[in-house]
Structure 1
Amino acid sequence: MRVHIESSGRLHLGLIDLHGGLGRKFGGIGVALKEPSLVLEAAPTDELRSEGLEQERTKAFAQRFFQRYAPEHWRLSGRGAYLRVFKAIPSHVGFGSGTQLALAVGVALTRLYDLDITAADLAETMKRGRRSGIGIGVFQYGGFIVDGGNIENSHCEATVPPVIFRYPFPADWLFVVATPQVEAGLSGEAELTAFHELSPPSPEAVGHICRILVMKMLPSLIERKIKPFGEAVTEIDQLVV
């Protein structure tokens, strides 16, 4: 038996609420891309092997999966998997490669051993979605995604953000993506630390972002009006920065 998984990269179009005064923080806006994309295959074996592209990260995600779920599921006892990435999303350039690879590995192993594990549970196991649920939403549903942020305070750990809006993105709307030849951006714990060190915006600025999202971006998407949609993307980007 072999399991074949495909997923796509994403563009993150902005964060909604870095203030957090209502008890939730972040909240994301994003869209699935046709390319770049990920193609992964998995087969059952008695040991864990990774070949092809992204071998180290693929194996690390698989090890995390077995460490988390093997004690609870007898089907995983003494088992491994052969994993091969045929096509990979470029890492650390804004396409969400880590989340897509982590979920692809998790879903492949879940299907391989006929387990009932949700994408949200996999995301928590793989430590994804701590700031944005866009990558998880894109993996599950594709299209245009808005997530509701996560509950993050001193009394509980960050939760996987819920998808609060999903809509098919027009196939004839294109993005021109340029990747500058510069040092890779922050990721992992360094990225998380940088977010926590940011000065929070005012509630008024967050309210302005929400107004643009609800009263301009979303209606423009549904009515297929590309000009005001693009204006909304730019306006939110300028406010977030």
Structure 2
Amino acid sequence: MNAEMIVETGCRLHFGLLSTDPARDRSFGGLGVMLESPGWAVHLVAAAQASDSVQADGETQARIQRLLELLRANEPFAGQPPLAVTVRRPLVHHAGLGSGTQLAMAVVDGWARFLGLTLANDEVFRLSRRGARSSIGQFGYFSGGFLVDAGHQRPTEQGMLQRDAIVVRAEFPDEWSWWLISPKNATGLSGEAELKAFREMTPIPQATTDRLASLTLLSILPGIQSRNFQEFARGLHEYGQLVGQHFAAVQGSVFSSPLMGDLARHLMEAGLPCVVQSSWGPTVAVPVTTEIEEEFETAWKKWPPHEKCDRLRTKAMNRRAVIHR
């Protein structure tokens, strides 16, 4: 057993599902990239009292407490001494950054390593209880990079829903950056509202899925591989637009936040090649290079509502989450 453990994660951008029809051979999946920041910093140490303790704000505290209770019903955590978990750096929930998955992975992986154990990745996936529709955040915790999830396979004869591993993991160019922008104090769909949206939404048409797959294979991935930023960015922008047009039936428009929709129009008119929403938003991501950074800054300052938004410049994370002993 280690004296203490600190887990530092990044966050996950998810650019939209490839399919939403479980009757097809594959459903859900999609594209995403892991980012260096923002992210969690979670500290684990033996508890001084007779039961687990969690120091974190509101929803985060409840999430960790519930996860610890569930983990104690499973090996290798059943019967282990009390644990004290402190969140030293938080990651906002319900912003489209995959915070819940990164938190769960950090707690499961961190606790196992605190005990001197190294669980197989698949076991951490199972115990984290995440990845209902896409495994990008789970795999990304261990690998970083730009990821393509082909989606869940149809149920087998035994009724089990099988998940495929990530089919592509690409190193994202270090010379490209991301701007993350979101309205202050706004959140995206989650919980029962998210489940209701999926129940009410019609499946993504096969023609749209085919186009999304084509953009992935013939534009987005080749752009990353060849360091052709314009090819990558234009392909990703169209991908996000197609997904957003379908989800507009439940989120109101291509972008879930009208303010972010206005920003996207402004930036595109200024010549930026890509503005894309992550998951349910409201966060949007703008990939940039050194050459167009000035264009972005100029356009940003000319958009009056920018004072109503938070923004962060970050880089892709091409490695796993960090463990400090």
TM over 0.5: yes
Query: Structure 1 217/144 Cα, relative in aligned 2: closer, same or farther at 3 Å?
Result: same
Which residue of structure 2 aligns with residue 221 of structure 1?
Answer: 224
Larger Cα Rg: Structure 1 or Structure 2? Answer: 2
Question: In the alignment, does 2:179 pair up with 1:176?
Answer: yes
Tell me, yes or no, if the aligned pair for 1:11 and 1:32 is still in contact at 8 Å: yes
Deviation of 1:152 (Å): 4.9
1:121-140 equivalences in 2 (<5 Å)? 121-140=123-142
Match of 1:186 among 175, 178, 189: 189
Query: Structure 1 123/151 Cα, relative in aligned 2: closer, same or farther at 3 Å?
Result: same
Which residue of structure 1 aligns with residue 13 of structure 2?
Answer: 11
Indicate the SS of the match to 2:9.
Answer: strand
Query: Structure 1 153/201 Cα, relative in aligned 2: closer, same or farther at 3 Å?
Result: same
CA distance in 2, matches of 1:160, 1:237: 24
Indicate the SS of the match to 2:182.
Answer: coil
CA distance in 1, matches of 2:98, 2:163: 15
Deviation of 1:204 (Å): 1.8
1:65-144 equivalences in 2 (<5 Å)? 65-69=71-75, 73=76, 76-144=78-146
CA distance in 2, matches of 1:192, 1:153: 20
CA displacement 1:80-110 (0-9 Å, x = unmatched): 2111110111110011000000010000111
Indicate the SS of the match to 2:220.
Answer: helix
Query: Structure 1 37/78 Cα, relative in aligned 2: closer, same or farther at 3 Å?
Result: closer
Query: Structure 1 36/128 Cα, relative in aligned 2: closer, same or farther at 3 Å?
Result: same
CA distance in 2, matches of 1:113, 1:236: 43
Query: Structure 1 51/227 Cα, relative in aligned 2: closer, same or farther at 3 Å?
Result: same
Tell me, yes or no, if the aligned pair for 1:146 and 1:163 is still in contact at 8 Å: yes
Deviation of 1:130 (Å): 0.5
Tell me, yes or no, if the aligned pair for 2:24 and 2:154 is still in contact at 8 Å: no
CA distance in 1, matches of 2:181, 2:213: 27
Tell me, yes or no, if the aligned pair for 2:71 and 2:78 is still in contact at 8 Å: no
CA distance in 2, matches of 1:192, 1:122: 24
Identity %: 28
Match of 2:52 among 39, 48, 51: 48
Which residue of structure 2 aligns with residue 150 of structure 1?
Answer: 152
Deviation of 1:5 (Å): 0.8
Indicate the SS of the match to 1:32.
Answer: strand
Match of 2:207 among 191, 204, 209: 204
Gaps of 5+ in 1: none
CA displacement 1:172-206 (0-9 Å, x = unmatched): 21122211236422223432332233211222221
CA distance in 2, matches of 1:43, 1:167: 35
Which residue of structure 1 aligns with residue 294 of structure 2?
Answer: none
CA distance in 2, matches of 1:101, 1:57: 9
Query: Structure 1 110/135 Cα, relative in aligned 2: closer, same or farther at 3 Å?
Result: same
CA distance in 2, matches of 1:163, 1:103: 17
Gaps of 5+ in 2: 245-325
Query: Structure 1 34/167 Cα, relative in aligned 2: closer, same or farther at 3 Å?
Result: same
Tell me, yes or no, if the aligned pair for 1:19 and 1:206 is still in contact at 8 Å: no
CA distance in 2, matches of 1:62, 1:119: 18
Tell me, yes or no, if the aligned pair for 1:76 and 1:113 is still in contact at 8 Å: no
Decide which structure has greater strand share.
Answer: 1
Match of 1:62 among 55, 68, 82: 68
Deviation of 1:227 (Å): 0.8
Tell me, yes or no, if the aligned pair for 2:155 and 2:162 is still in contact at 8 Å: no
Indicate the SS of the match to 1:14.
Answer: coil
CA distance in 1, matches of 2:84, 2:202: 45
CA distance in 2, matches of 1:105, 1:180: 29
Q: AA paired with 1:32?
A: M
Q: TM-score, normalised by structure 2?
A: 0.67
Tell me, yes or no, if the aligned pair for 1:129 and 1:161 is still in contact at 8 Å: no
RMSD: 2.2
CA distance in 2, matches of 1:20, 1:206: 13
Deviation of 1:56 (Å): 2.3
